Structure 1
Amino acid sequence: MTTRSQRTSYRDIRDEIARRIGDQVWKPGSLIPGEEALTVEFGAARATVNRALQELARAGLIERKRKVGTRVSLNPVREARFIIPLVSQEIEASGMTYAYRLLSRAERRASRADTLRLEVEPGSVILHVKCLHLADGEPYQFEDRLINAAAAPLALDEPFQAIGPNEWLVASAPFSRGEFSFLADRPSSEEADCLKIKTDAPVFVGERRTWLLARPITFVRMVHPQSHRMTSTL
């Protein structure tokens, strides 16, 4: 229980609410306590609590409606201008049959390379998952993902045998901001082997990092054969 001597600034209140959402103390779609209850819990002025909630609403983590209350967003970052669909939905929308294959799953301490990709401290616990997404039985996307265990601790209990990490994260680890990069590249030998292409063949790569406020959640490298086409609707 938080005492009145703690968390009196709007930033501390904002960060604590974001932590509870990230840890699923308050699950997506659920109502959170009202301003009056939060004012009592944190020992802060109602205006301070209101400011914290306003920032979380702008970040897309919560939705506020008069006479209804405040809910945890089902779809974080609702005002995002660039939407990345789940790969399963992307494949099925094109009329093909989706299949998923887990290639490897390892829990370990972050290496130097991991710290550069995921922006975590050296030695932090991370989950490294590699998987393959298929369309009509043919390789569609090679996914290489790092998950920060401190930001998504429940991922350590998920085997990812039946569900891919992206789909799991969308449902279990809301984010407040993301960074997207797209590039042409050459595949690694592992990527080429999984995609059934030559190592000198060009590939289409998408890289994405997400954060819950200042806390990194995941980094993913998604590799497609050169025939892949990405379409965005404005």
Structure 2
Amino acid sequence: MTLTDTNSWTGIREVLLRRIHNRIWQPGELIPHEADLAEEFGCARTTVNRALRDLAESGLVIRKRRAGTRVAINPPQRATLTIPIIREEVESLGRSYRHSVLERNLRALPPMLHGAFQVSLSEDVLFLKTLHFSDERPYAFEERHINLDAAPDARDLAFNEISANEWLVHNAPYTHGDLSFFAVNADETLCRKLDATTGMALFAMERITWAGEMPITHVRLIFAPGYRMRTEI
């Protein structure tokens, strides 16, 4: 890694992460002070602090005021989950992809989302219903609310050429999110959209992403029969 790469906190985090994974710093070991790391990387101390804070939030290091930063002895084991671009997910299976926007409008946030997706109740959000296809067969049905304070350019997009899923991944960077998985029984509407039979259990997920304290989007995805989710551990 070059000096330029380590001018950013993300670059420094990757170097520190490799040292932890390669056991250059052993579990429980005190790592160098922020000032020493800043001198090593030729950057501001605040940049090092940001990198260490991110490692602490992930549970890989333990930070205590005046006691320094130590490598965690028992770091949490987590699955790696990223927000997939559905087009890429379908194409990775060797299939053709397309999507269809079924509904698009500006509307007030539904009351059932007020607690989880805290946007200004005086402002409309962009609501979309989208059906994703794999080889011309239904793949996933999406219902999405977009906070236009977080993604103002979305107001003028029809999302016919590029799906909201893909556009947001590229244009609305998120810092964190909440994700839940569950099953839903196919009702008449889902049967029509996803080629399911009445009462069939379908894989579903809900996700909210934030940029700091500002919510970006709330999405509910329901997948066609046979869908499997895979991730790395």
TM normalised by structure 2 equals: 0.65
Structure number with greater CO (CA < 8 Å, separation at least 6) is 1
CA offset at residue 117 of structure 1? 4.8
Segment drifting more, 112-121 vs 153-162: 112-121
CA offset at residue 190 of structure 1? 2.9
Paired residues of 2:90 and 2:96 also in contact (CA < 8 A): yes
Aligned to 1:184: 183
What 5-or-longer segments of structure 2 have no aligned partner?
1-43, 56-77
Is 1:54 equivalent to 2:50 in the alignment? Answer: yes
Task: Tell me, in whole angstroms, the C-alpha distance in 2 between the residues paired with 1:205 and 1:221.
Answer: 7
Q: Secondary structure of 2:133's partner? A: strand
Q: Secondary structure of 2:114's partner? A: helix
CA separation of 1:161/1:82 partners in 2, compared to 1, >3 Å: closer, same or farther? same
Is 1:156 equivalent to 2:155 in the alignment? Answer: yes
Q: How does 1:110-189 map to 2 (within 5 A)?
A: 110-189=109-188
Q: How many residues align?
A: 168
CA offset at residue 120 of structure 1? 2.3
Task: Tell me, in whole angstroms, the C-alpha distance in 1 between the residues paired with 2:214 and 2:184.
Answer: 29
1:43-64 deviation digits (Å, cap 9, x = unpaired): xxx87xx3698279939xxxxx
What 5-or-longer segments of structure 1 have no aligned partner?
1-45, 60-78
Paired residues of 2:79 and 2:231 also in contact (CA < 8 A): no
Q: How does 1:40-51 map to 2 (within 5 A)?
A: 50=46
CA offset at residue 162 of structure 1? 1.2
CA separation of 1:193/1:213 partners in 2, compared to 1, >3 Å: closer, same or farther? same
CA separation of 1:52/1:115 partners in 2, compared to 1, >3 Å: closer, same or farther? farther
1:19-64 deviation digits (Å, cap 9, x = unpaired): xxxxxxxxxxxxxxxxxxxxxxxxxxx87xx3698279939xxxxx
Aligned to 2:70: none
Runs of 4+ in structure 1 deviating by more than 6 angstroms, as ranges, are: none
Q: CA RMSD in A?
A: 2.6
Task: Tell me, in whole angstroms, the C-alpha distance in 2 between the residues paired with 1:150 and 1:56.
Answer: 30
CA offset at residue 116 of structure 1? 3.8
Aligned to 2:230: 231
1:147-190 deviation digits (Å, cap 9, x = unpaired): 11111111101111111101000111100001111111123543
Task: Tell me, in whole angstroms, the C-alpha distance in 2 between the residues paired with 1:53 and 1:174.
Answer: 21
Q: Secondary structure of 1:118's partner? A: coil
Query: Residue 54 of structure 2 aligns to which amino acid in structure 1?
Result: R
Task: Tell me, in whole angstroms, the C-alpha distance in 2 between the residues paired with 1:197 and 1:84.
Answer: 25
CA separation of 1:204/1:156 partners in 2, compared to 1, >3 Å: closer, same or farther? same
CA separation of 1:109/1:223 partners in 2, compared to 1, >3 Å: closer, same or farther? same
Paired residues of 2:83 and 2:169 also in contact (CA < 8 A): no
Paired residues of 2:186 and 2:198 also in contact (CA < 8 A): yes
1:178-225 deviation digits (Å, cap 9, x = unpaired): 111111112354333211223311110011110011111101111012
Aligned to 1:209: 208
Which protein has the larger Cα radius of gyration, Structure 1 or Structure 2? 2
TM normalised by structure 1 equals: 0.64
Q: Secondary structure of 1:206's partner? A: strand
